[in-house]
Amino acid sequence: MLDDLRTCRRCGEPLTRNQKAFCSSRCAIVWRNQNTMTSEKRARISASLSGRPNAYKGRHYSEQARRNMSVAHIGNTPPNKGIKTGKPAWNRGVPHREETKQKISKVQIQRGNFSARDCGNGRPLPRPHQLLYDALVPIGWVYEYPISLGKRQPGWPTHYKADLAFVESKLVIEVDGASHRMIIARKRDAKKDGKLTDLGWTVVRVPNERAIILSTLSAADIVAELFGIVP
């Protein structure tokens, strides 16, 4: 009867008749390390481990090497949670299908996360953007059009989003608010405009005040005034 009441010193699991204090050798080792090792010994071990050179520190792996290393973790729990194994996402670089986008948008609208016409990753279109877009949409202009920059380059994003774009003629209208008058914003805008120009796009920047005035004109007059061409 007394044997049934005996439990492991470390984990509290019930012991069998042949077990004295621990349910397994692992519990015995962990308990002894935690309870018999002095603080001085722990400090010596920590100091020796911290000074040991790490053969993997500073080593750079190729994308294929990271994929190969990540194979060991497929189907298994990662040994260290939160540490990246190098395994890429299964859908990285694969855009959603149009029907998938519509389903996601429908669910988000039902949840009240953002409106049907959104801008800036879920935010509604600002009033100047909205007015100018409503005037240009009859001839085929689109808002928040993503323009790919091609192969990944250091210091550059994968794509730029144009406020308003006419894809067939590669025309872009950027509607700028007060935040674009800051020096850092001007440098960022100049970098974006230069890159889009190199890709063959014609970029025109319009302040909010002028965008509101232009929205009162017809679509053809807006394009003629900004770009000097008739769509």
The pLDDT of residue 1 is 46
For residue 51, the number of C-alpha atoms closer than 13 Å in the C-beta half-sphere is 6
- What is the 3-state composition of the chain as percent helix, strand, coil, each rounded to the nearest 5? 45, 15, 40
Residue 204 has pLDDT above 90, yes or no: yes
Per-residue tokens: 50: 């911290």
> Is residue 157 within 8 Å of residue 149, measured between CB atoms?
yes
Reported confidence tier of residue 35, pLDDT bands at 50, 70, 90: confident
Same domain, 174 and 151: yes
The pLDDT of residue 67 is 59
The pLDDT of residue 62 is 65
Last residue of a domain, one of 119, 137, 164: 119
The pLDDT of residue 57 is 57
Residues 6 or more apart whose CB falls under 8 angstroms from that of 129 comprise: 119, 143, 163, 164, 175, 211
Question: Which span out of 26-30, 49-53, 54-58 was modeled with the highest average pLDDT?
Answer: 26-30
- pTM, two decimal places: 0.48
Which carries the bigger pLDDT value, residue 27 or residue 56? 27
Q: What is the pLDDT of residues 128-187, one digit of tens each?
A: 888 898 999 889 898 888 998 888 888 888 889 999 999 988 999 999 988 888 888 899
Same domain, 205 and 133: yes
Q: What is the pLDDT of residues 66-117, one digit of tens each?
A: 655 555 444 444 444 444 555 555 555 667 777 887 787 777 777 765 544 4
Question: What's the rounded mean pLDDT across residues 116-127?
Answer: 61
Helix ranges (DSSP H) in 95-182 = 98-111, 127-136
Between CA 138 and CA 199, with CA 167 as vertex, the angle to 5 degrees is: 155
- Please state the domain count of the chain: 3
Same domain, 134 and 218: yes
Same domain, 223 and 160: yes
Q: Give the residue numbers spanning the domain of 5.
A: 1-40
The pLDDT of residue 43 is 76
> Is residue 85 within 8 Å of residue 78, measured between CB atoms?
yes
Same domain, 110 and 160: no
Q: What is the pLDDT of residues 10-32, one digit of tens each?
A: 888 888 888 888 888 888 877 87
Same domain, 133 and 192: yes
The pLDDT of residue 190 is 93
Same domain, 137 and 203: yes
Reported confidence tier of residue 118, pLDDT bands at 50, 70, 90: very low
